[in-house]
Amino acid sequence: MEANGLGSQGFPELKNDTFLRAAWGEDTDYTPVWCMRQAGRYLPEFRETRAAQDFFSTCRSPEACCELTLQPLRRFPLDAAIIFSDILVVPQALGMEVTMVPGKGPSFPEPLREERDLERLRDPATVTSELSYVFQAITLTRQQLAGRVPLIGFAGAPWTLMTYMIEGGGSSTMAQAKRWLYQKPQASHQLLRILTDALVPYLVGQVAAGAQALQLFESHAGHLGPQLFSKFALPYIRDVAKRVKARLQEAGLAPVPMIIFAKDGHFALEELAHAGYEVVGLDWTVAPKKARRRSDGWC
């Protein structure tokens, strides 16, 4: 600790590192707790704050994102904060229009339909400048947390982002996106590479801005069986982790623990345990003890 109470990045010194120590596989005095959708509609103050502007305008306001991130910590003794944002800011940064329709969810007025539609996407190298508001929100939140708990940054994994960009929103079957995998495999890989190229600097930028851990959400893993997952999702999940860690080292930034959460991806648990992440998130369908046995030898 420096004499002024600030860490090496100029942020307040961390007082509760239990979550980070657990993420690195170290022993802790208790099991640290944080929640998915930690900042959410279950909080009346969240609903009040969100009522002031539309969803993505909120995401683009560092002050609003900071406030929403901090709200649950004022009520509960949580061990980590996760920045308020959305995985679909990445397709937006690539030039796609995305709106949040009340009662329906995200909507893409012009989804990707044909291979030539990939030409509409911006250069993934421009994503970090387009998403500077996320970095500003992370820095502001780290300052406002005053070292109380660590701050988690996140992004959606390539396959999950691809499904939204092709389906035009949520889907119970992902029929359009899966049709691409079968009928347009080369274009599918091209899109997944574009998304990976966008995600790597975005996640590195979150760490540079102050994120102390990163989570990659493969929310639609369950729509792929083992073969399709191994071909169209897992390679990019691995690539994100490998490249983020290399870029952090190149930039002289300290490593941070990375979490992979593949919802309904129980069939790939062994592969995910060796995909280059420090933590594998489990959904409610997987028994933790069985998951530990299946990933025996991990770490």
Active-site amino acid positions: 37, 41, 50, 86, 164
- Record the tokens describing residue 44, joined without a space: 């009346």
* Distance in angstroms (rounded) separating the CA atoms of residues 150 and 210: 9
- Record the tokens describing residue 266, joined without a space: 């129980």
User: Which uninterrupted H or E stretch holds 242?
Assistant: helix 234-250
Q: N- to C-terminal Cα distance for the chain?
A: 29
The answer to whether residues 55 and 84 touch, using CB atoms and an 8 Å cutoff, is: no
Looking up tokens 């930039």, which residue turns up? 251
**Of the candidates 177, 172, 158, the residue with the CA atom closest to the CA atom of residue 241:** 158
Residue 100, CA atoms < 13 Å, CB-side half-sphere: 14
Residue type, 90: V
**Of the candidates 262, 112, 121, 120, the residue with the CA atom closest to the CA atom of residue 194:** 121
Q: DSSP readout, 7-74?
A: -TTSSBPPS--HHHHHHTT---SS-----TT-SSTTSHHHHHHHTTS-HHHHHT-HHHHHHHHHHHHH
Q: How many helices (H) and strands (E) does the chain have?
A: 14, 7
Residue 201, CA atoms < 13 Å, CB-side half-sphere: 16
* Distance in angstroms (rounded) separating the CA atoms of residues 213 and 256: 5
At 237 the three-state DSSP class reads helix
DSSP 286: S
Residue type, 126: T
